[in-house]
Structure 1
């Protein structure tokens, strides 16, 4: 029997690609959005708001599983908002008797000093897991794909600057992952029984510093990007610099910059037991993202 799956944030960066992939796999996809009349992606649009439990009840009625992909990174009080939304969704999912929730959160060591952004991602994961519905959580770092905020910052910096004056956080190590691999993992953990209630770390094949990501993205496009690191460039000044050079708003920039000083590297590779297969390298991920942007 065909499973009915709800995708929250279906009009967003990850959600839009996931809805298409699930539909291609034969799932009955419900694409949740606050404005279903504007939705033109895969699946059947349904109205739902993560802060409105009644609307969630209607969206979840008759569904077997749900993907939770929403966040409030563009708000100053995003930690409180994200926690409230997670509690509301967990309660609605329990009332609907879902078989499983699949959640995409952020990488970062549990015993490390997490930024407010990553701390919020982990809190949402914990809140969802406190409910009776089994949760499968995937934790990722920067996702390389057209439309992703972190990737758009990288692309625009490379496109718009002949050289970089960068803060110390560009030396932080991270493990970027290509958008197609994120989607493959999200779809791949939906069915396996052994994935119920588990947490998986996902990443591409390379651990890079942010400056490596910038210079290699430039090289893929046939350019050379010079860099001078400025140690006294504070997080607030870094945020203002990003707003000046890119299209990202200040609140989102500040919340992201706070996270860029935290090392996010895959330590646990158990996802390979459930969803095997090679992952896409960084340079190829950049090529795919640039191709999609130009399309």
Structure 2
């Protein structure tokens, strides 16, 4: 008997990247498809039954070519990170997938959607609902799981609440904090997803999924604060309109702002799932909210144990509870007709006596000396033995944690600061031209980490723009 071929669309997302190992344990041949393929490869461990492919569902032809090769498809894609027009964007993606399903032997599609409240108007929720409607017009049976807040490290809605609790001495929230929900633990959600992959599809069906406890967001904050040993000081104010709240959220949390804004528009309604139907079909012990939160906080540092950080022991050692799961980031991109190899020959000289940091070297050296005020010591000048960069090399206070010649370099931030950071250089061949990108990633440690990030932001914007241009000139 041949193994079932399973395709996970949106594999680089929170649910997808954590579902893939579960599917592999079931003995499936799994393909993870995503636009952020480099991030997915860094997050998911290699496996003989796992294939990772780049796919942008906006590319209709590529979608038509890929989907017909599978027996089961998990549709975990959402367009919240796309921007303000994600409703039209998601609908377009759904139409492309529907066309591919109509010409495919796919037996079952499992679509992770969102609970639809009785009142309110949210583009995020409308997009989820309309996507399901479009998929159900295909010839393939569609099982739609409508979930609310998922409790687990990396879940955007949970991370918003977690960041608020860690990062603010007083939690200033919109009035929606008294709306109710019954959040579901990631472990329980995965159980339903796996069981559906085994089940024979019998037409289109919609299930709501939720946990055993129905609580207001205020009560959820209370549990979360208790678990991290912080007093609950919460002020709910009507002054935080949805638009103002979205800006406030972008400052306080590390969750990507587009995703945060989209989620925020839905949280002002009650999100209570009636999960009796799916619980009767696939019974399991539902994890109480407090236990789910405690489990998530215990495992929140697991993402450090991945190739995103080059499996660097120092990153794991320095990680502390309370660091933002999602990083703040700043960077710059520049295009050039120089070759990838020409650009790499310059990038690999970073920190050398000849090139320094390519631009504003005085500012780089000033920051190193400021370490004396953050509890660090006198700067140490270190250079790689060369001539090539290798993982483990030190460049002054930085450490090479990933080096994929000739297109990618990642350096671990080695100076003192309230958080954990890295600096990445990426060279991408676009055919007629090359694109070089420099990005700083910063996982803030609570309120101090946020203050540090915003204090450094003006310098980051100035320096990185100068660096990408200087690298191209020197190449």
After TM superposition, the score normalised by the length of structure 2 is 0.59
SS of equivalent residue, structure 2 residue 77: coil
Residue 71 of structure 1 aligns with which residue? 78
Q: Which residue is equivalent to 2:167?
A: 160
Contact 2:64 2:96 in 1 (8 A): no
Q: Contact 2:12 / 2:37 at 8 angstroms: preserved in 1?
A: no
Q: CA deviation at 1:247?
A: 1.6
Q: How many residues align?
A: 294
Map of 1:259 onto structure 2: 266
> For structure 1, which segment, 153-162 or 227-236, has the greater mean C-alpha deviation from structure 2 after superposition?
227-236
Q: Distance in 2 between matches of 1:293 and 1:7?
A: 24
Select the residue among 70, 90, 99 that pairs with 1:82.
90
Mapped to 2, the partners of 1:37 and 1:237 lie a distance apart of: 34
Which of 105, 109, 112 pairs up with 1:97?
A: 105
Supply the distance in 1 between the matched residues of 2:164 and 2:38 (Cα, whole angstroms): 35
Q: Which residue of 2 aligns with 1:56?
A: 63
Cα separation, 1, equivalents of 2:152 and 2:282:
20
Residue 17 (structure 2) aligns with: 16
Gaps of 5+ in 2: 303-475
Change (3 A) 1:237 1:37: closer
Q: 1:264 to 1:37 in 2, by over 3 A?
A: closer
Deviation at 1:133, TM superposition (A): 1.0
Separation in structure 2 between the aligned mates of residue 237 and residue 189 of structure 1, nearest angstrom: 40
| C-alpha separation in 2, matches of 1:120 and 1:104 | 12
How far did residue 131 of structure 1 move? 1.1
**2:284 match: secondary structure:** coil
TM-score (norm 1): 0.94
Instruction: Mark the CA change 1:259 to 1:95 in structure 2 (over 3 Å): closer, same or farther.
Output: same
Alpha-carbon distance between aligned partners in 2 of 1:229 and 1:209, rounded to the nearest angstrom: 13
- What are the ranges of 5 or more consecutive residues in structure 1 without an aligned counterpart? none
1:30 corresponds to which residue? 31
C-alpha separation in 1, matches of 2:274 and 2:199: 22
Deviations 1:35-54 (A, max 9, x none): 54652426211232211122
Tell which structure's C-alpha radius of gyration is larger. Answer: 2
For residues 37 and 80 of structure 2, what CA distance do their matches in structure 1 show? 22
Residues in 2 aligned to 1:8 and 1:182: alpha-carbon distance in whole angstroms = 17
Deviations 1:177-226 (A, max 9, x none): 11111111111112223664211110111111111111211101222111
Determine if the alignment matches structure 1 residue 283 to structure 2 residue 284. no
Matches within 5 A, 1:194-273: 196-273=203-280
Given the superposition, is the C-alpha separation of residues 56 and 180 from structure 1 closer, same or farther in structure 2, using an over 3 Å criterion? same
Compute the RMSD of aligned alpha carbons. Answer: 1.7
Shift of 1:114: 4.1
Does the CA contact (< 8 Å) of 2:108 and 2:201 recur in 1?
no
Contact kept, 8 Å, 1:108 with 1:265, in 2: the verdict is no
